[in-house]
Structure 1
């Protein structure tokens, strides 16, 4: 029995393009983001993938990315579960701020700490550790059991919510996961054994 889990970060959003901290705000995809999502669907179609269930966040950029992927797979009626547990990290007071402007206001070192430390949150927001504490219980309760039962599963979410999942799946340290970059609209394909351990990983961004 194949146990298949595909993770995909949403395509480029309007705020990605503007270099803004996005968090739980809800900008749409850019034209490039739409193209990235369609290409992800085409790549999965070329691999002859068909899914049994899909999960996504409460944010439209992830939902639209998933929808575009499923269109390419002719699976627009697929059962899809949306939950804010899969939302992007909340950037708190930085939300909506240009990243260069934030460096000018708070200093480059402080902004780097907020963005790239594991357990230091920005003011009013979440650290990656806090994001993982939100994402992982949901993953372990709602998603992983379905994957282990043989349901081919796709999760369309966000850079940091997916980092939390990857950290768990791959057994990475905080330092290792902070260095992990996820391309927009680039699926990562996991095949797992009966215990949820990785048999193989294929990153279509590579």
Structure 2
């Protein structure tokens, strides 16, 4: 049996709504110019590392798919298969979707704001069903099962769908020795880190994953991470970026 392959996690490059500090959730904005640069730099990091993806999984959202496209252009290997999976989509932020974070912090106060934004079980009030229906008809969600668009969602709910995806799709490929790249979102990748590392609720609530910084996991024969928490390909830059995310209130 081959040695387990590595897994590389990448949060998509900055989107235009990230740049405006808004709750993006299931909205489908494009990458900002900074986000495009982040995707290209991530590709350059991969090109200079020993990681060469055999397959790429992305969410169904434009910001993740465009990050994959730019990254693979830098690698110069457009033939690598890219599979989109709704289980890797960002969390539904319910009625907070599209709202400015600073505005909501002032409106709600820090305790409620943090509970809805960062806690494991907290879910914001649901978005209107008319908005849910419109999202389900949009390009990013067309043809997907109804559960791909929730009126609201807790981090716990994201963990449930990501855990199933890990066992059904990622784990078998890694066990077979494949190099797997996953391009997702702040919350779907935090959820995957919880699954991989066995994080406590407190640990995952405090975890911040910056945009555009590849995070590599290598595994023992039993598919346990060799290094808990993985290793960023550019550790210093990633730590600095993660600290900025934390200072802004978290992923």
TM-score, scaled relative to structure 1: 0.96
Moved over 4 A (4+): none
What pairs up with 1:75-114 in 2 under 5 angstroms?
Answer: 75-114=77-116
Aligned partners of 2:50 and 2:190: how far apart in 1?
26
Mapped contact 1:11–1:61 kept (Cα < 8 A)? yes
Mapped contact 1:3–1:193 kept (Cα < 8 A)? no
* Counterpart position of 1:33: 35
Greater percentage in strand: 1
Aligned partners of 1:79 and 1:73: how far apart in 2?
13
Unaligned ranges ≥5, structure 1:
none
* Counterpart position of 2:231: 202
Aligned partners of 2:50 and 2:122: how far apart in 1?
42
* Counterpart position of 1:23: 25
Deviation at 1:140, TM superposition (A): 1.2
Deviation at 1:76, TM superposition (A): 1.5
Please list the CA deviations of residues 14-38 of structure 1 after superposition, one character each: whole Å capped at 9, or x if unmatched.
0111010000100111111011110
Please list the CA deviations of residues 41-61 of structure 1 after superposition, one character each: whole Å capped at 9, or x if unmatched.
101111142111110001010
Mapped contact 1:12–1:29 kept (Cα < 8 A)? yes
Aligned partners of 1:160 and 1:76: how far apart in 2?
27
Secondary structure of the structure 1 residue equivalent to 2:9 = strand
Secondary structure of the structure 2 residue equivalent to 1:47 = coil
Deviation at 1:188, TM superposition (A): 0.3
Please list the CA deviations of residues 79-124 of structure 1 after superposition, one character each: whole Å capped at 9, or x if unmatched.
1110111000110100000011112332232111101111010112
Partner of residue 189 from structure 1, selected from 202, 213, 216: 216
TM-align CA RMSD: 1.1
TM-score, scaled relative to structure 2: 0.79
Aligned partners of 2:57 and 2:64: how far apart in 1?
10
Secondary structure of the structure 2 residue equivalent to 1:38 = helix
* Counterpart position of 2:49: 47
Deviation at 1:2, TM superposition (A): 4.7
Q: Is structure 2 residue 154 aligned with structure 1 residue 127?
A: yes
Mapped contact 1:89–1:161 kept (Cα < 8 A)? yes
What pairs up with 1:4-15 in 2 under 5 angstroms?
Answer: 4-15=6-17
